[in-house]
A and B are shown apart, each in its own frame.
Chain A
């Protein structure tokens, strides 16, 4: 069985590291790819430039506050693209703003998860996302 391909769109190196560590303990074999801003995320998804060999991700973990192109715009572009909109997008952010929550569901984010500041809780959240999305949910077939 091929690994589950995950694209993490996150500019904070500490959060990237914690997410990698959390996913390493996953029971499901996965490959994590990291894009550090919104432009790079879309470049990866459209296999542009450096990303010409990029796999199509099965799951996208998307931060909202990103340099160059905001996560909200990235989400809107993914969900407006017939070729990409099926890929589940999990918004993973420190924002607890009700407006962000509503707006991202309006833009068809698959779910909205807030990043806890506490280390243990952060790991718990990453592992819960992994457990639910990689072992309970059925992904769209290729």
Chain B
């Protein structure tokens, strides 16, 4: 996976968080595209290329919030990891929840990692840069070609 061709999907309903995440990631931009959807139903439609997402690019990495409208992030995670054609895509759970039951349930559902969003701005920026550089420069992501 060359970072220049990597695609990311952000599933986040809070517009302030979306803006902050997008701006922070654009500073280094170690990926090619970042698409944003704001609820769980759209996230799954995007991944399955349904309706207006017919031409969606398969993401190489998913950043998933947990508390989402229409379909909860926990359900989205479970559906992704049950789906044979989607489960290889790494899912980074990025949430303000630090509830032990959320953390356990996410790892049980095979989230690739669980990250608690720091409330402090500088720490938040550091965490976002760290996610980006780890997943796009250190990790080998599965080659998304297999779904043709």
A105 touches B90 (CB 8 A): yes
> Which of B41-49, B51-59, B107-115 lines the interface with chain A?
B107-115
> Which of A26-34, A36-44, A110-118 lines the interface with chain B?
A110-118
A102 touches B142 (CB 8 A): yes
Q: Does B119 contact A (CB under 8 A)?
A: no
A105 touches B134 (CB 8 A): no
> Which of A8-16, A68-76, A134-142 lines the interface with chain B?
A134-142
Given A88-B107, A112-B140, A136-B127, the answer on whether A105 and B88 have CB atoms closer than 8 Å is: yes
Shortest Cβ distance from B143 into chain A, in angstroms?
A: 5
Shortest Cβ distance from B46 into chain A, in angstroms?
A: 19
Task: Determine the interface band of chain B, counting residues with CB < 8 A from chain A.
Answer: 20 to 34
Q: Does A96 contact B (CB under 8 A)?
A: yes
Given A88-B113, A102-B88, A136-B131, the answer on whether A141 and B140 have CB atoms closer than 8 Å is: no
Selected A-B contacts with CB under 8 Å, 15 pairs: A86-B104, A98-B142, A105-B88, A105-B142, A108-B87, A111-B139, A112-B141, A112-B142, A129-B134, A136-B131, A137-B113, A137-B114, A137-B115, A138-B114, A140-B103
Q: Please give the residue numbers on chain B whose beta carbons come within 8 Å of chain A beta carbons, in ascending order.
A: 81, 87-90, 98, 100, 103-104, 107-108, 110, 112-116, 127, 130-131, 133-135, 137-143, 146
